[in-house]
Amino acid sequence: TERYGASFLPPDMTIQDWGVTYDEIEPYYDRFEYLCGTSGTAGNLKGQIQEGGNPFEGPRSRPYPTPAQAQPFSHTLFGKAARELGYKPFPQPSGNLSQPYLNPLGIRLGPCTYCGFCEWFGCGNYSKASPQTTILPVLVRKANFLARDNCEVTRINLDSSGKRATGVTYVDAAGEEWEQPAELVILSAYTIFNVQLLLLSGIGKPYDPVAGEGVIGRNFTHQTISDVTGFFDAAKFIFNPFIASGSIGMCIDEFNGDNFDHGPHGFVGGGYMGQVQTNGRPIETTPVPPGTPRWGAAWKSAVRENYLSAVKPGTGVHGSFYAYRDVYLDLDPTYKDRFGRPLVRMTIDFHDNELKQNAFLTDRFADIIQAMGAKQVMKEYRKGPYDITKYQTTHLCGGAVMGTDPKTSAINRYLQSWDMPNLFVMGASGFPQNAGYNPTGTLAALAFWSAEAIRSTYLKNPGPLVNA
């Protein structure tokens, strides 16, 4: 609103501030990256722009713990084309390690071998950052830590006043129900299940889209994803898509956030875009030009001809998805889970703002693919209505958002429930809107930020960390 005026925002958009600043949580971004051994190239080191990194990133206190991964041919070609068009490409930061690494907890991780079986698989090399490879090996050896696996929490239990959590009820692998008492409850079931448990437990006011009141289920968001496929001369280009890792990529950030003037384009938000080579698994990697039959000998011939010489990132355009009054979560009146509890119902569709944004970003991405030397470019714009049958990431956000006003947020800036001071809600459910990046880094930084507040302040004097 400061740059374009309040009237530039769609009237039904419910975008709001987070309640924290980048400078406050930067140390926790750093802590998470060093826990994971994140591979990358710094673009802004203590305010100084660094060659080869993302010049649009916020100032970071130190470099990434490991260098960026070595880039495949298609990525170097993308970077060259992007630079020729005036952009500043940079290697995508990655949870796949570029070299051996010993994290601050003393856990060793190995270098990625580009096996091409990463993003839906476990990693026997310990080359992919995850709880199993970065923190659990230390936790399970602690005498005061107990993990109960194959269990599912079914509700948060409250005292007679309804103002304090007394623990949780859960069901184990044998189907037996147990109650776990607790002085402090931390809900960390990402997005959908955080919201479901809050609604089922009667914590917070459920969101009413008609009145625009309530907070549980409010500001639910996803991402606005699209792709561009480039078909190259098979006699000149071999990209070997099977040489891949889960998040290796070459990206640009010129059209993310407010890095560009939105005035002439009639939308807010944006995203990053890039050539990302995650796998060449034959069953799902079958890029064929428009007009190719969907089955049969001609289809097989097209797959064979284009498998090595096509560029298809899969999620090349990663756009933001801002919050709207009519996009929300609630309990489904019909469908139930295996325990007989109502499932969460998603009421969601793309709005004109996001569709305009996606068309603009997709066209800019196609310009780079064309400049790489593609003989044919296929644009796959994101179109409405919202449809889950075509994969577009699992990064659902919002529904129990953080903020400074209990009327528009479920939790305060420390992720503490406004209604129940001994309940903290961690996860992407706390995001007031979904920006043009994946949520993992911010989610983890906020978890560290909240944990620090719990340890340094709450445990010494249990109660609200922010006055309502």
- Is-contact 15 9, C-beta < 8 A? yes
Euclidean distance between CA atoms 217 and 231, whole angstroms: 43
Total Cβ atoms within 10 A of residue 22: 13
d(CA 1, CA 9): 8
Cα–Cα distance measured from residue 429 to residue 427, given in angstroms and rounded to the nearest whole number: 5
Cα–Cα distance measured from residue 128 to residue 124, given in angstroms and rounded to the nearest whole number = 9
Closest to 178 measured CA to CA, from 209, 154, 147, 207: 154
Distance CA 359, CA 228 (A): 11
Tokens matching residue 299: 């289809």
- Phi then psi dihedrals of residue 359, to 5 deg: -60, -40
The alpha carbon torsion through 415, 417, 423, 426 (nearest 10 deg) reads -30
Structure tokens at 72: 């495949």
DSSP strands (E only) in 23-164: 44-45, 48-49, 90-91, 101-102, 108-109, 152-158
Q: Is 265 a catalytic residue?
A: no
Q: Which listed residue (75, 262, 318, 395) is catalytic?
A: 395
Contact yes or no for 392/383 (Cβ under 8 A): no
d(CA 391, CA 249): 19
Catalytic positions? 395
